[in-house]
């Protein structure tokens, strides 16, 4: 029997559990359902991608190159993706992105299953996946405030962070490890491709949402408006700058070397790698539950920076861990703190950025934060060859944490903690 969600909108239903309140909105339920299924497939994709990269070329450089192939097109397309999401129906932008990713991942699956997948082709198709994601992400972030009440944005972001790690880092990777071990990576890629069809169907069921009550401008002018807002707010540009440097230091080593350590140092299987990622999902889910009940902290920016600083310190655990269990603990701590900070940061953006700028500003958030990620991937292999994979991870955690914490003391970063969201939004619309 199909139960009605509306029947739960009363004391004892969604309203009683803070994390579930946004599900009273039909459109958010559809968006949430589609994203949940798609993220499960992406969790499978993470394991299949890492394992396929090492199968095609068993070197620390293999996953670094694949990471570069995915992030460079994403970075190159993010500004365009943000401008497009602010000028057109965000549902259609998301559907088009899902369609492209379905074709790209489906092609990987077909080539892998038929034995015709080469490393270069694999990297090119992953690049297509990254480019399409650059359109989906800002459209997704910008559409949420249009379909969820303002007072429930913190719960909506908590619910997103509850589902995202659970699907992307817990259930998805566990399924991915099992699929790769017993059915091959081609089957895993085929599952991920199918989840994009589910996401497309769910997004299509959402009622049309106007992009923003603002006169039509050129794409170039729209992008400049986004830059103008970021440049005029220290809390935003300092956070993005510190994130860019911190990600340069630790994200490439984390993404490329943790799978390498599991496979070549600990001599463990794809299933073990899935368990490491899954532990991170457990941590993030726990953080999402807590944040969904507590809501926004009073000192929002300080909370974000402290969470992200301690999360980066946890990267050291990847280098010090001598067993799969110890790597699981490090991953759990990292993801719990990262998720808590991300929930608060997302809500800050949605409350302090004018709605008609949200797609562009979100794309700038992503672009500037990961702008140096290809360099991080490129440097990971030579640094690991020079000092070792474990020493690289330890150094990355220490330096990344120091950079993150230092940005908290940039003048003006914490000024938003004493402003009202309404006043901040009016300033941004006039900037």
Q: What is the pLDDT of residues 23-75, one digit of tens each?
A: 777 888 888 889 889 888 888 888 888 888 888 887 767 877 888 888 889 88
Compute φ and ψ for 285, nearest 5 degrees: -65, -45
d(CA 423, CA 322): 51
Model pLDDT, residue 311: 93
How far is CA 325 from its chain centroid?
24
pLDDT of residue 373: 75
- Look at the pTM and tell me if it is higher than 0.85: no
Could you give the CA distance from residue 358 to residue 364 in angstroms, rounded to a whole number? 10
What pLDDT sits at residue 105?
A: 95
Whether 16 shows a pLDDT value over 50: the answer reads no
Query: Could you give the CA distance from residue 60 to residue 45 in angstroms, rounded to a whole number?
Result: 19
Q: Tell me the mean pLDDT in the region 114-140.
A: 91
> What Rg value do the Cα atoms of the chain yield, rounded?
21
Tokens of 145: 């405030």
Residue 200 near residue 206, CB atoms below 8 Å: no
Backbone angles phi, psi at 353, to 5 degrees: -105, 130
For residue range 128-143, list pLDDT tens digits in order: 999 999 999 888 888 8
In this predicted structure, which of 203-217, 234-248, 300-314, 393-407 has the lowest mean pLDDT? 203-217
Domain 16-430: CATH superfamily, name plus number: MFS general substrate transporter like domains (1.20.1250.20)
**Could you tell me which residues come within 8 angstroms of residue 45 by beta carbon, excluding any fewer than 6 positions away?**
105, 172, 176, 188, 189, 192
Where in the chain are the domains?
Answer: 16-430
Burial tier of 3 (Cβ tally within 10 Å: 0-12, 13-18, 19+): exposed
pLDDT in tens, 267-294: 787 778 878 877 887 888 888 888 877 7
Residue 361: pLDDT band with limits 50, 70, 90: confident
Q: In this structure, how many other beta carbons lie within 10 angstroms of the beta carbon of residue 291?
A: 28
In which band, very low, low, confident or very high, does the pLDDT at 78 lie, cut at 50, 70 and 90? confident
Mean pLDDT (the chain) is 81
């Amino acid at each position: 029997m199909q139960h009605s969600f509306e029947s739960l909108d009363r004391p004892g239903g969604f309203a009683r559990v803070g994390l579930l309140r946004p599900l009273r909105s039909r459109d958010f339920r559809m968006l949430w359902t589609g994203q949940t299924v798609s993220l499960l497939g992406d969790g499978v994709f993470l394991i299949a991608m890492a394992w396929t990269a090492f199968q095609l070329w068993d070197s620390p450089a293999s996953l670094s190159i694949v990471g570069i192939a995915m992030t460079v097109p994403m970075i190159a397309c993010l500004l365009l993706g943000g401008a497009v999401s602010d000028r057109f129906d965000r549902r259609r932008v998301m559907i088009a992105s899902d369609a492209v990713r379905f074709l790209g991942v489906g092609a990987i699956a077909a080539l892998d299953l038929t034995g015709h997948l080469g490393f270069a082709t694999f990297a090119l198709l992953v690049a297509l996946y990254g480019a399409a994601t650059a359109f989906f992400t800002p459209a997704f972030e910008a559409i949420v405030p249009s379909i969820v009440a303002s007072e429930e944005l913190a719960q909506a972001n908590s619910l997103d962070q509850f589902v995202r790690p659970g699907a992307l880092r817990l259930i998805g990777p566990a399924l991915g490890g099992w699929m790769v071990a017993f059915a091959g990576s081609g089957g895993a890629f085929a599952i991920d491709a199918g989840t994009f069809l589910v996401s497309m169907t769910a997004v299509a069921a959402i009622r049309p949402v106007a992009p923003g009550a603002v006169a039509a401008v050129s794409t170039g002018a729209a992008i400049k408006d986004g830059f103008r807002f970021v440049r005029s707010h220290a809390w935003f540009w300092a956070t993005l700058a510190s994130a860019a440097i911190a990600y340069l230091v630790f994200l490439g080593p984390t993404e490329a070397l943790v799978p390498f350590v599991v496979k070549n140092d600990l001599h463990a299987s794809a299933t073990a790698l899935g368990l490491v990622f899954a532990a991170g999902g457990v941590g993030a889910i726990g953080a999402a539950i807590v944040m969904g009940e507590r809501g926004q902290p009073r000192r929002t920016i300080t909370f974000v920076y402290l969470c992200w600083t301690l999360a980066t310190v946890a990267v050291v655990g990847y280098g010090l861990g001598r067993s799969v269990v110890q790597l699981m603990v490090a991953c759990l701590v990292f993801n719990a703190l990262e998720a808590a900070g991300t929930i608060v940061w997302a809500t800050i953006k949605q409350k302090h950025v004018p709605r008609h700028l949200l797609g562009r500003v979100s794309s700038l958030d992503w672009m500037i934060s990961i702008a140096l990620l290809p360099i991080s991937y490129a440097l990971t292999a030579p640094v690991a060859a020079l000092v070792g994979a474990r020493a690289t991870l330890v150094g990355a955690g220490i330096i990344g944490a120091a950079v993150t914490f230092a940005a908290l003391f940039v003048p003006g970063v914490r000024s938003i903690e004493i402003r009202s969201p309404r006043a901040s939004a009016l300033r941004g619309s006039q900037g």
